[in-house]
């Protein structure tokens, strides 16, 4: 087992906790009486983000590891766990309206997306030396723009447009970029 594989156990656990949180909330989020399609789409998008970020962790396999670098590597999964906790509360059965929940958690949710975009930018620089002009930087900027847009309004119609243009666009773009083979 390499050091990267050993350390991957820690961030895999954080990713898993985030995914379990989201999936455990799905039966409640899809309930016909309380569902809010925008919220539900963000839950699914967060699950996709967890899978994509986990996949991207392989790029750090050749890192010269130190404890501070390990902690830095944990910030991305930690941000996604926090996002999962904002989207699905401790007791999802108690949520009477997912629309009300979404808008009450909106600032935390979109603030976390802004922070995650910055974390991705820093980590891509530190762990892989990603050039500043690279297609993945467009994803980082897109996530940041999504976060800023979500923070800037509490209008449901605007959030539907942010979802359609921003989230679906980022999912498609990252799917294309992440479908490229990883060397090694």
Taking only the tens place, the pLDDT of each residue in 113-171 is 999 999 999 999 998 888 899 888 999 999 999 999 999 999 999 999 999 998 888 88
Report the pLDDT value the prediction gives residue 175, as an integer from 0 to 100: 87
Q: What tokens were used for 114?
A: 């802004």
- The helix/strand/coil state of 75 is helix
Question: Rounded distance, CA 132 to CA 124, Å?
Answer: 10
CA 84 to chain centre: 8
For the chain, count helices (H), then strands (E). Answer: 8, 0
How far apart CA 95 and CA 64 sit, in angstroms, is 45
- Comparing CA positions, the residue from 145, 11, 146, 15 lying closest to residue 80 is 15
Look at residues 77, 71, 80, 78 and name the one whose alpha carbon lies nearest to residue 57.
77
> What would you report as the CA-atom Rg of the chain, rounded to the nearest whole angstrom?
17
Residue 7 to residue 26: CA distance in whole angstroms? 30
φ, ψ (nearest 5 deg) of residue 131: -60, 155
Q: Which of 98, 80, 76 is nearest to 89 (CA)?
A: 98
Give the model confidence (pLDDT) of 30-57 as tens digits: 999 999 999 999 999 999 999 999 988 8
Cβ proximity of 87 and 106 under 8 Å: no
Is pTM, for the whole model, over 0.95? Answer: no
- For residues 130 and 125, give the distance between their C-alpha atoms in angstroms, rounded to a whole number: 5
């Amino acid at each position: 087992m390499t050091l990267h594989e050993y350390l991957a156990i820690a961030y895999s656990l954080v990713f898993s906790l985030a995914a379990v949180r989201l999936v455990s909330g799905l039966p409640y989020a899809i309930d016909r009486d309380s569902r809010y399609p925008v919220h539900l789409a963000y839950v699914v998008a967060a699950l996709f983000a967890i899978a994509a970020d986990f996949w991207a962790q392989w790029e750090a396999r050749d890192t010269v590891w130190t404890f501070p670098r390990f902690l830095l590597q944990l910030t991305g999964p930690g941000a996604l766990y926090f996002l999962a906790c904002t989207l699905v509360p401790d007791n999802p059965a108690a949520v009477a309206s997912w629309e009300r929940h979404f808008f009450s958690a909106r600032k935390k949710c979109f603030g976390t997306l802004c922070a995650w975009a910055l974390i991705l930018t820093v980590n891509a620089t530190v762990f892989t030396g990603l050039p500043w002009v690279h297609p993945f930087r467009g994803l980082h900027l897109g996530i940041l723009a999504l976060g800023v847009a979500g923070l800037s309004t509490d209008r449901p119609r605007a959030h539907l447009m942010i979802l359609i243009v921003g989230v679906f666009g980022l999912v498609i773009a990252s799917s294309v970029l992440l479908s490229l083979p990883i060397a090694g």
